[in-house]
């Protein structure tokens, strides 16, 4: 087997655990060095995961490192990605690509000028549950998709994240933070969005942190925390998207799609697994088979005790293999930029009280081949 692709990580906070765990399981990539504005954060993760912490400049100057993961906070994504590109490295960013479309486009254009790649989370659509939905739609099992309803509603982030302030600042909010998984999954299934309308609100102007170590501090909320949007896809589907951090409990499904021949219940786009169900016309709901697809088995236990499939990093592995094979990678900058434009349009639609047309278009990422592990990314 070829040597694993050497990657570096900038940003060693909460989400870096998922990437360092994922990289530890991979034979196709290896983390050579990690760095953070706070050297102590990088040092702690280096000790925990058996890698080396270095200054950011050292990481960027390392000729062995081909891809740098940008796992910093959203407000830093564009500037850190630009720095990575300027250093001659491919970049894979956590979502969102940037906090606004102009900055996101700047990242894509800088990379193109240097003949470098941009990849961006989320990569959850690689998961078996979502790939099974893709196959069902592509095979016409629900006919032409004409509508849908997606829901992501919780009660905030201030009760669990050690540093929850950024979720409520410009660049945060439920659309950019969690809606991004749903919109990416919908574009993966249905293709690009053509038009958006939305109404948002901010029911609580301040939030009180109840997690450690900042318990008792207040957060001034800068973003809408309840947003109802409607997305009209270029293919004709008219899909509602409800996002909120003001809801304790609800009884809606993650994502329902309605076609001319039937309906599909898609699993949670925030994770990789789940059990899709499909009904032809008025028939009973039936499970959609996911057994032949990769990234399916639960491998992570959430704070709630729920077991979920979480293979975050497979988008990076796919990009590494795509560079080797000179093919297109799936969690692409073009997809992320389109999704960012949709999210920005949701914000603008609410602020300006009108529908917003989406200018960018992107191709749907290629479906994954059948198979069971990361080898499917090396093969296809």
Ligand X SMILES: NC(=O)c1ccc[n+]([C@@H]2O[C@H](COP(=O)([O-])OP(=O)(O)OC[C@H]3O[C@@H](n4cnc5c(N)ncnc54)[C@H](O)[C@@H]3O)[C@@H](O)[C@H]2O)c1
| Cα gap 126→264, rounded to integer Å | 18
13 interacts with ligand X by CB under 6 A = yes
Residue 175 as a binder of ligand X (CB under 6 A): the answer is no
Residue 347 binding ligand X, by CB under 6 A:
no
Report in angstroms how near the CB of residue 244 gets to ligand X at its nearest: 17
Q: How many residues are recorded in the chain? A: 380
* Under rule CB under 6 A, residue 60 binds ligand X: no
Pick the stretch among 14-22, 46-54, 127-135, 245-253 that binds ligand X (CB under 6 A): 14-22
Task: Name residues contacting ligand X, limited to 71-100 (CB under 6 A).
Answer: 71-74, 76, 80, 94-95
Q: How far is the CB of 42 from ligand X (least distance, A)?
A: 8
**Which DSSP category does 332 fall into?**
B
| Residue nearest to ligand X according to CB distances in the complex | 13
Looking at 11-128, which runs of residues are DSSP E strands? 29-35, 52-53, 67-70, 90-93, 118-120
Q: What is the per-residue DSSP string for 334-363?
A: HHHHHHHHHHHHHHHHHHHTS-EE-----P
State how far the Cα of 339 lies from the Cα of 360, in Å rounded to an integer.
9
Q: How far is the CB of 263 from ligand X (least distance, A)?
A: 29
Q: Taking the complex as a whole, how short is the minimal distance between the CB of residue 325 and ligand X, in angstroms? A: 27
The bridge status of strand 255-259 relative to strand 262-266 is: antiparallel
Residue among 4, 6, 15, 202 that touches ligand X (CB under 6 A): 15
Residues 27-56, one symbol each (x = binds ligand X by CB under 6 A, - = not), give ---------xxx--x---------------
Question: Of the two residues 171 and 262, which places its CB atom closer to ligand X in the complex?
Answer: 171
CB of residue 238 vs ligand X: minimum separation in angstroms? 28
Indicate the SS3 state at residue 324: helix
# of chain residues touching ligand X (CB under 6 A): 21
Question: H helices then E strands: how many in the chain?
Answer: 11, 19
CA distance 13 to 24: 17
Beta-strand pair 5-10/67-70: parallel
Residues binding ligand X (CB under 6 A): 10-16, 36-38, 41, 71-74, 76, 80, 94-95, 163, 177
């Amino acid at each position: 087997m070829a040597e694993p692709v050497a990657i570096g990580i900038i940003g060693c906070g909460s989400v870096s655990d998922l990437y360092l765990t994922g990289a530890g399981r991979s034979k196709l990539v290896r983390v050579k060095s990690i760095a953070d504005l706070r050297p102590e954060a990088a040092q702690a993760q280096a000790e925990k995961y058996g890698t080396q912490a270095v200054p950011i400049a050292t990481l960027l100057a390392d000729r062995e490192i081909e891809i740098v993961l940008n796992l910093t906070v959203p407000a830093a994504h564009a500037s850190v990605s630009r720095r990575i590109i300027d250093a001659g490295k491919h970049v894979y960013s956590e979502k969102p690509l940037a906090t606004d479309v102009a900055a996101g486009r700047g990242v894509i254009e800088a990379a193109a000028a240097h003949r470098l790649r941009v990849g961006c989370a989320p990569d959850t659509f690689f998961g078996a549950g979502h790939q099974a939905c893709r196959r069902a739609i592509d095979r016409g099992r629900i006919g032409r998709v004409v509508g849908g309803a997606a829901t992501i509603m919780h009660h905030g982030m201030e009760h669990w994240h050690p540093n929850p302030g950024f979720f409520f600042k410009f660049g945060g909010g439920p659309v950019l933070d969690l809606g991004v998984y749903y919109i990416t999954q919908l574009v993966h299934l249905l293709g690009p969005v053509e038009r958006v309308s939305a109404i948002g609100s901010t029911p609580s102007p301040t939030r009180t942190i109840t997690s450690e170590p900042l318990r008792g501090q207040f957060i001034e909320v800068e973003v809408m925390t309840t947003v109802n949007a409607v997305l009209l896809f270029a293919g004709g589907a008219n899909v509602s998207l409800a996002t909120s951090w003001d809801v304790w409990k609800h009884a809606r499904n993650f994502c329902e799609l309605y076609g001319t021949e039937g309906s599909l219940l898609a699993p949670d786009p925030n994770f990789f697994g789940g059990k899709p169900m499909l009904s032809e016309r008025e028939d009973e709901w039936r499970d959609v088979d996911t057994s032949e697809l990769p990234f399916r088995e639960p491998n992570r236990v959430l704070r709630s005790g729920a077991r979920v499939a979480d293979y975050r990093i497979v988008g990076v592995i796919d990009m590494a293999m795509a560079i080797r094979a000179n093919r297109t990678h799936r969690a692409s900058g073009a997809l992320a930029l389109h999704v960012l434009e949709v999210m920005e349009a949701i914000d603008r639609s609410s602020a300006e009280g009108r529908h917003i047309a989406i200018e960018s278009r992107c191709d749907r990422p290629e479906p994954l081949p059948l198979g069971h592990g990361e080898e499917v990314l090396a093969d296809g």
